[in-house]
């Protein structure tokens, strides 16, 4: 498809670029990049979008250090790449703040479960182009609070709640695959797209260029790539050319 997008991930913990395995705090890997350096590297390799996650916010911790990092990333990317940002966004005020700083769109995850009205209000206030639903699932059920708390909701049922409000885009992560580089859950992601009719971005499990090619061929709108890029399994330029 013509508008398939590869999103390089910049996961922030205490203002530093890190990756987690299956979202677990104890399985952390730090990289030598400053956040703005990472952004600059991906932009130089052709990134049209950056995917930035505030893990401190997702875990319910203080987010100021990561907001400072976000400002530096936005300074580097301004006019060169768009940015989507998620993690710990729990009020209209914080969403407004992030968008005002220059993010193109926000990602709401835990709020969709605990504060569904917030998602509805955000879609109404800012428009579907600026509000994305982040659905993270383990064994078929939605996980929230930085994947530390389970629910009995399925991704399809949760997504369908917001279709009447104008929702257009979902990021779907199979938590068990995230950071493991063992392949993307294409079947689960494709089923979500088919059942909802929404634009779905796949996340979690990319380890090879073939993984990206399979996501693209499946008709999904994009894929998020993190650890494989930082560990130089391939370059972002190679990924974009898939």
- Residue 1 is predicted with a pLDDT of 39
pLDDT band at residue 175 using 50, 70 and 90 as cut-offs: confident
Q: Give the pLDDT mean for 142-152.
A: 81
Q: Could you say which DSSP state residue 208 is in?
A: S
- Residue 116 is predicted with a pLDDT of 97
Over the stretch 46-94, which tens digit does the pLDDT of each residue have? 999 999 999 998 888 888 999 999 999 999 999 999 999 999 899 999 9
- Say whether 114 sits in a helix, a strand or coil: helix
Q: Give the pLDDT mean for 1-23.
A: 83
pTM over 0.75: yes
- Say whether 63 sits in a helix, a strand or coil: coil
Over the stretch 101-117, which tens digit does the pLDDT of each residue have? 999 999 999 999 999 99
Percent of the chain exceeding pLDDT 70 equals 92
Q: Which residues contact 46 (CB under 8 A, 6 or more apart)?
A: 236, 237, 240
What is the architecture, at CATH level 2, of domain 5-240?
Alpha-Beta Barrel (3.20)
H-assigned helices in the chain: 35-44, 55-58, 64-77, 92-101, 110-114, 116-126, 155-161, 186-196, 209-217, 227-230, 236-240
Q: List the catalytic residues.
A: 11, 136
């Amino acid at each position: 498809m013509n508008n398939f997008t590869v999103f390089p991930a910049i996961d922030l913990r205490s203002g530093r670029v890190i990756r987690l395995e299956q979202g677990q705090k104890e399985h952390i890997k730090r990289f030598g990049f400053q956040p703005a350096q990472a952004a600059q590297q991906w932009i130089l390799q052709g990134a049209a979008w950056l995917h930035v996650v505030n893990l401190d916010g997702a875990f319910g911790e203080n987010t100021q250090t990561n907001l400072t990092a976000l400002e530096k990333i936005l300074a580097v990317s301004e006019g060169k790449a768009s940015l989507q940002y998620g993690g710990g966004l729990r009020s209209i005020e914080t969403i407004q703040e992030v968008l005002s700083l220059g993010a193109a769109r926000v990602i709401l995850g835990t709020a969709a479960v605990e504060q569904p009205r917030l998602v509805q209000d955000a879609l109404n206030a800012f428009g579907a182009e600026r509000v994305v639903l982040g659905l993270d699932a383990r064994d078929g059920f939605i996980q929230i609070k930085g994947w530390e708390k389970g629910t009995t909701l399925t991704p399809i049922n949760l997504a369908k709640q917001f279709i009447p409000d104008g929702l257009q885009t979902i990021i779907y992560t199979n938590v068990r695959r995230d950071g493991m580089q063992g392949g993307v859950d294409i079947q689960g992601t494709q089923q979500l797209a088919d059942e909802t009719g929404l634009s779905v971005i796949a996340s979690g499990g990319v380890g090879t260029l073939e993984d990206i090619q399979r996501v693209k061929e499946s008709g999904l709108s994009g894929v998020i790539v993190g650890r494989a890029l930082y560990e130089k399994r391939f370059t972002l330029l190679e990924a974009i050319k898939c």
